[in-house]
């Protein structure tokens, strides 16, 4: 294969659902792009993802929202295809095409029948390397994104998550919403977007992830042929500063009947060994219908409609939070009950049988998710970005199996500390004092 330099090929076959179906390959192309292949012999479909290792946390002042804006612009046409051409071609394949922006990456993907792989791949490659950046489309899309921002701000359930993120992490690229700030979106220029695109969208910063019913021999020669015709660009070096949590209370007045509330703190990153115990603890505290918070607050006492906990991992930090929605008359009762339940959790409420149920749930969720080529494709790409390698299923399951009750209580002692929580809430003005002065005392 004259145009491909194979640095590492991981050809390991793992047992999965009782039989062998998966072969995973990692190939570094000569132009610096990384190609990941997850072959599933019985699958009739394929999911293709182009992942660029840049997200909203990489934006400088004045650029908040640029990563997301560029994601939009790549769908607005290329030098070879109009935005209508892209839509028609994918529709003709019966496929699905979309994109997403996160704090640490941006990606574009297509799901199609495996027979249509070459056409779908060409479309994504054209979008990634040859966007037209048309001035007229730029102006239209700016208005679309401002409308999207207004929609998010008008939805309390969506807004509270962004509000909490800024409360916990501060007014910076990590703390701001992925969509960006109104001022930076309004003041953005096409020239500025193109400069940001050229800085980050290059071959070395690109991970191509493919999962489905094709193998390396069916994928690599074609990918190599397409990639050799693409102009090489200078790659950028990013230095990410680890964000620092800020423990403070913030409230925003809204003329609404319900109170939307989130409290939380910094937690473990993707790379931390405590990540797997944290996943299981989150599941037991508020990550399922059988969890402590849902059963005690929602089911037994009916104090709120929704309550849950959440655990998010990033490359160098994590975030754990508890959120709920309730009426203003029930607010203090919910807060006091959560405080009481956390005290009980710290004193031994979680038993070995609870941990074993959480492990079974994790396994079941993993198996259900892994029926999706899109999920498998995404998993490969994130593994590569965070760890620089593909993490086997069996290794993950073994890490989960090894988690002990002592591990869980070690996490509990580290996560639940007085005066180490941020609090965000939105609701009617009369609850402001309750929110701004409240502190958990577990």
Residues found in the chain = 442
Smallest CA-to-CA distance from 108 within 128, 93, 132 is with 128
User: Cα(71)–Cα(78) distance, rounded to whole angstroms?
Assistant: 13
Q: Could you name the CATH architecture of 249-437? A: 2-Layer Sandwich (3.30)
Give the chain's radius of gyration (CA, Å). 23
pLDDT score of 16: 35
Query: Domain residue spans in the chain?
Result: 12-228, 249-437
State the DSSP code for 395: H
Burial of 20 (0-12, 13-18, 19+ CB in 10 A): exposed
The pLDDT value given to residue 235: 67
235 and 199 in contact (C-beta within 8 Å)?
Answer: no
Q: Count the helix, strand and coil residues of the chain and give each as a percent rounded to the nearest 5.
A: 45, 20, 30
CA distance 89 to 105: 26
Residue 48 in tokens: 């293709």
Q: What is the pLDDT of residue 23?
A: 64
- Cα–Cα distance for residue pair 245/166, rounded to 1 Å: 10
Q: How far apart, in whole angstroms, are the C-alpha atoms of residue 138 and residue 128? A: 16
Q: Which residues contact 246 (CB under 8 A, 6 or more apart)?
A: 167, 168, 169, 170, 422
Task: Report the pLDDT value the prediction gives residue 5, as an integer from 0 to 100.
Answer: 31
Q: Could you read off the pLDDT of 8-48 as tens digits, one per residue?
A: 323 332 333 333 345 689 999 988 899 999 999 999 999 99
CATH homologous superfamily, domain 12-228: Metalloenzyme, LuxS/M16 peptidase-like (3.30.830.10)
Segment 52-74, tens digit of pLDDT: 999 999 999 999 999 999 999 99
pLDDT tens digits, residue range 103-139? Answer: 999 999 999 999 999 999 999 999 999 999 999 999 9
pLDDT of residue 230: 76
Please answer whether residues 114 and 185 qualify as being in contact, where contact means their C-beta atoms are separated by less than 8 angstroms: no
Domain 12-228 and domain 249-437 have a common topology: yes
> What is the distance between the alpha carbons of residues 323 and 291, in angstroms, rounded to a whole number?
14
Locate the DSSP E strands across 280-430. Answer: 306-313, 318-327, 422-427
Residue 235: which residues within 8 A CB-CB, separation 6 or more?
Answer: 32, 202, 203, 204, 205
Q: What is the pLDDT of residues 191-241, one digit of tens each?
A: 999 999 999 999 999 999 999 999 999 999 999 999 987 776 766 777 899
**N- to C-terminal Cα separation, the chain:** 62
């Amino acid at each position: 294969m004259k145009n491909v330099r194979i640095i590492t090929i991981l050809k390991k076959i793992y047992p999965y659902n009782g039989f062998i179906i998966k072969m995973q390959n990692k190939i570094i192309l000569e132009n610096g792009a990384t190609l990941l292949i997850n072959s599933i012999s019985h699958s009739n479909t394929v999911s293709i993802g182009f992942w660029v290792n840049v997200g909203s946390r990489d934006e400088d002042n004045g650029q908040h929202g640029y990563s997301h804006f560029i994601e939009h612009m790549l769908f607005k046409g290329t030098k070879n295809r109009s935005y209508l051409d892209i839509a028609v071609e994918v529709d003709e394949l019966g496929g699905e095409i979309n994109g997403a922006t996160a704090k640490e990456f941006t990606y574009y993907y297509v799901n199609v029948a495996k027979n249509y792989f070459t056409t779908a791949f060409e479309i994504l490659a054209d979008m990634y390397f040859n966007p037209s950046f048309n001035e007229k489309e730029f102006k239209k899309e700016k208005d679309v994104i401002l409308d999207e921002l207004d929609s998010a701000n008008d939805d309390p359930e969506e807004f509270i998550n962004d509000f909490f993120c800024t409360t916990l992490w501060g007014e910076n690229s990590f703390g701001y919403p992925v969509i960006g700030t109104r001022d930076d979106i309004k003041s953005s220029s096409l020239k500025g977007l193109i400069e940001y695109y050229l800085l980050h969208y290059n071959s070395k910063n690109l991970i191509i992830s493919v999962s489905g019913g094709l193998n390396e021999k069916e994928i690599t020669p074609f990918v190599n042929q397409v990639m050799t015709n693409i102009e090489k660009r200078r790659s950028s070096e990013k230095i990410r500063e680890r964000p620092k949590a800020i423990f403070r209370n913030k409230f925003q007045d809204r003329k609404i009947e319900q109170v939307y509330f989130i409290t939380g703190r910094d937690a473990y990153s993707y790379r931390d060994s405590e990540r797997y115990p944290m996943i299981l603890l989150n599941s037991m505290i508020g990550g399922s219908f059988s969890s402590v918070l849902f059963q005690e607050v929602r089911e037994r006492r009916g104090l709120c409609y929704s309550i849950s906990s959440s655990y998010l991992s990033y490359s160098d930090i994590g975030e754990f939070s508890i959120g709920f929605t309730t009426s203003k008359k029930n607010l203090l009762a919910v807060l006091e009950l959560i405080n009481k339940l956390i005290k009980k959790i710290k004193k031994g409420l979680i038993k070995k049988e609870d941990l074993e149920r959480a492990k079974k749930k994790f396994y079941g969720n993993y198996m259900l998710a892994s029926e999706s080529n899109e999920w498998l494709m995404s998993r490969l790409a994130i593994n590569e970005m965070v760890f620089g390698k593909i993490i086997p299923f069996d290794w993950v399951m073994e890490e989960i199996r090894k988690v002990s009750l002592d591990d869980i209580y070690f996490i509990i002692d580290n996560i639940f500390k007085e005066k180490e929580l941020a609090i965000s809430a939105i609701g009617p003005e009369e609850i402001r004092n309750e929110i701004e002065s409240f502190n958990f005392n577990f």
